[in-house]
Amino acid sequence: MHSEADIKAALRGVQDPDLKQDLVDLGMIRDISVADGAVTLTVQLTTPACPLKDKIAGDVKAALQERLGLAATVSFGADTARVQTASDLIPGVRNVVFVASGKGGVGKSTVAANLALALADTGAAVGLLDADIYGPSVPTMFDLHQHPRATDDKQIIPHEKLGLKLMSMGFLLEEGQPVIWRGPMLDSALRQFLGQVAWGELDYLVVDLPPGTGDVQMSLSRMVPQALALIVTTPQDVALADVQRAMGMFGTVGIQVLGVVENMAGFVCTACGHRSEIFGSGAGKRAARKYDVHFFGEIPLTEKVVTSGDKGLPIVKASADDPAAIALKDVSYRVAQQIAIRASAAQPATT
C-alpha cells in the first residue's frame, strides 16, 4: 500500500502551468486516498476559472502511472488567490478588478458585465459594482430597475441575477433622474457602495469605472489600493493616447494594471460570418507592448452584443457561441490566471 508521502513524492516536479511551481510545494495536492491499486486526490486550484485543468490532471495521472504504476482519479477544488490583504471596507472580497478606459464609447461596461458573468460561470463568487455614477449601465444591461432592500443594520442588499451580486447608482434613482454631485458627495456614495453593501464573501468584485480619469477613479483607488486594473481600448491608433492617460492615472495612484483588452476588434457579420476591420486593428496589442503589460485578447463586435445588452441579457448568457461571447470568456480566464500568478508571486509557497 502506498502512503500519502509516496504519492506526494511521485508528484514532485509536476508543476502548475501558470505559476511554474511544483503542485506539492504549492500545497495544491489534497485529500489523497489509495485503494486497490488506484489513487484519488484533489488538486486545489488558485481560481475556479483555470483553463488548464485538463493539462494538470493529465500531468498528475502520467506521473503516478509512470512512477508508482497507479491509476488516478483527479478532482478539482479552488481557493481563489488573493493578491493582497482585503480592504477594511470589503473584508470578504478576495480580489477587486477595476475595468477602465481612457474615454467613453469603447464598450467598457459590456466588457465588465460579461467578464463578471464569465467568472461566475466557472463557480467563482462574483460581484459587479457599477461605479459610473453619472451614467450607470448595469440597470439596463441586467434589466433591473427596482430599489434594493436594506437589512435592519442599514446594510444595502445587492440585487442578485445570473449568479452575480449587483449594485449601481441606477438602482437608487428614478428613471431619467440626473446626478449632479461634486467630489465629496461622490466620495461618500462610493464609500457606501463598498462598505455598506452586503457583498459577503466574494472571489472577485468587478468594478465598472466611468470613462476617463476623474474623481471616481481617484476615490476608489484610495479606498481599494490593492485593486488591479484592466484597461479597455479599441483598435484605432488614436486610442493609444487614451490608454496612455489611463496608464498614467493608475501609475500616479499606485494601482497595478493587469493588462489591456481590445474591444470592437472587427465586425463579424451575423449572416455570413465575414469579419471586417472597420475600426483598424492592433492598437490594444501595441499598447500592451508599449507599457509592458499583459494583452488579454481581441473582442469582435457583433450584432448580438448590442441587442443582448439592450434586452438585459449580456452576450455570454444570451448567445454563448457568439464570437464575442467566446472571446469574452477567454479574456475572463486569462484575467483570472494573471491574478493567480500575481498572488503567487506576492506570497510564500506553502507545503
Q: What is the pLDDT of residues 3-51, one digit of tens each?
A: 999 999 999 999 999 888 999 999 999 999 999 889 999 999 989 988 8
* Distance (Å, whole) CA 238 – CA 345: 35
Task: Name residues whose C-beta falls within 8 Å of residue 197's C-beta, 6 or more positions apart in sequence.
Answer: 129, 155, 156, 157, 158, 167
Say what percent of the chain tops pLDDT 70.
95
Retrieve residue 101's grid coordinates: 478606459
To 5 degrees, how large is the angle CA 187–CA 190–CA 196? 125
Query: Mapping DSSP to helix (H, G, I), strand (E, B) and coil, where does residue 328 land?
Result: helix
pLDDT of residue 180: 62
Indicate if the pLDDT at residue 350 is higher than 50.
no
* Distance (Å, whole) CA 24 – CA 351: 7
Indicate if the pLDDT at residue 349 is higher than 80.
no
269 or 257, higher pLDDT: 257
pLDDT of residue 343: 83
Tell me the average pLDDT across 216-239. 91
Q: How many residues does the structure list for the chain?
A: 351
pLDDT of residue 181: 61
Integer-rounded Cα radius of gyration of the chain: 22
What's the one-letter identity of residue 271?
A
* Distance (Å, whole) CA 60 – CA 74: 8
What's the one-letter identity of residue 244?
Q
> All domains of the chain, ordered by start, with CATH?
4-78 (3.30.300.130), 93-346 (3.40.50.300)
